[in-house]
Amino acid sequence: MSRGRRPVTMPPRWVRVRRGYAAPGVHGSGLAPRLEHRSGPFAGSLDDWHLQVAGTDAALPDYDLEDDDSFDVAGHETVYRRFGHTVSGVPVLSDQWLWVVDGIAHLLLGTVATEDYEDYCDVFESVAETFDPDTGRPSRSA
């Protein structure tokens, strides 16, 4: 995959930060809403990826799973999860989408202070809907 190209389109004006993107401005909670996309080789199925990620997430402080479902997003089988936890003592909600396409596991994570969730959940979903695992891949035609 080409550097700088992601299989999701981040919101305009969001700033690049360590391990993701953050909404600009000052936020009452002290935490800026964040989006992060990670990917890497994975030899298992989407179910395997789901179990691996869910096990890791369960160790988060004050973890509370609210939703865990599978459906189609952008033409790809997708696992969607929403869970609460805390970051630096602030209650947050995270929306998470998981995909496995052609041996590559993808994770998109949007995290926001619980009090601001309604203002950002549609932004997170709109980014998930841009998922295109072929973005940045070399063309297979010669």
Residue type, 123: V
Q: Supply the DSSP string of 65-124, one letter for each residue.
A: EEEEEEEEETTEEEEEEEEEEEETTEEEEEEEEEEEETTEEEEEEEEEEGGGHHHHHHHH
Rounded to the nearest integer, the mean pLDDT of the chain is 91
Q: With 60 as the cut, is the pLDDT of residue 1 above it?
A: no
Euclidean distance between CA atoms 1 and 6, whole angstroms: 8
Residue type, 61: P
Euclidean distance between CA atoms 8 and 95, whole angstroms: 15
Q: With 60 as the cut, is the pLDDT of residue 11 above it?
A: yes
18, 22, 39 from 125: Cα distances, Å? 22, 15, 18
Whether the pTM exceeds 0.85: the reply is yes
46, 50, 116, 133, 139 from 120: Cα distances, Å? 26, 24, 7, 24, 35
Mean pLDDT value of segment 1-14: 76
Closest CA to 130 of 29, 17, 3, 35: 35
Domains and CATH numbers, the chain: 33-128 (3.40.1000.10)
For the stretch 31-86, pLDDT in tens is 999 999 999 999 999 999 999 999 999 999 999 999 999 999 888 999 999 999 99
